[in-house]
Amino acid sequence: MAWTLYFAASAVLSILLFCFGPVEVWSFFANVLTPVLLGVMFGGEYLIRLRTMPGRSHFSIYETIQAYREYSRRRLGTLAVS
């Protein structure tokens, strides 16, 4: 829910700034604030997950990528057989 609200608010604000604000303000929002706010969202989510699920094991980015590759490999193999 939080990510949906973040992206919806970001899109609406960007469109409003683009249509009705100075191009410099929109450009600053799009090129500087958006990546910073995205990082804040990821960091906030991470901290909330640590606090609300303290005993849960966490996976590294590398482990996540490996799991996705394994899933994709298996999925492609299943589709080829079908």
Give per-residue pLDDT as tens, 56-65: 877 888 999 9
More confident residue, 80 or 26: 26
Kindly list the domain boundaries of the chain, sorted by start residue: 2-81
Reply yes or no on whether the pLDDT at 82 is more than 60: no
Give per-residue pLDDT as tens, 3-56: 999 999 999 999 999 999 999 999 999 999 999 999 999 999 989 988 888 888
Exposure string of 57-73, with b = 16+ CB inside 10 Å and e = fewer, is: eeeeeeeeeeeeeeeee
Q: Report the predicted TM-score, pTM, of the whole model to 2 decimal places.
A: 0.64
Reply yes or no on whether the pLDDT at 76 is more than 80: no
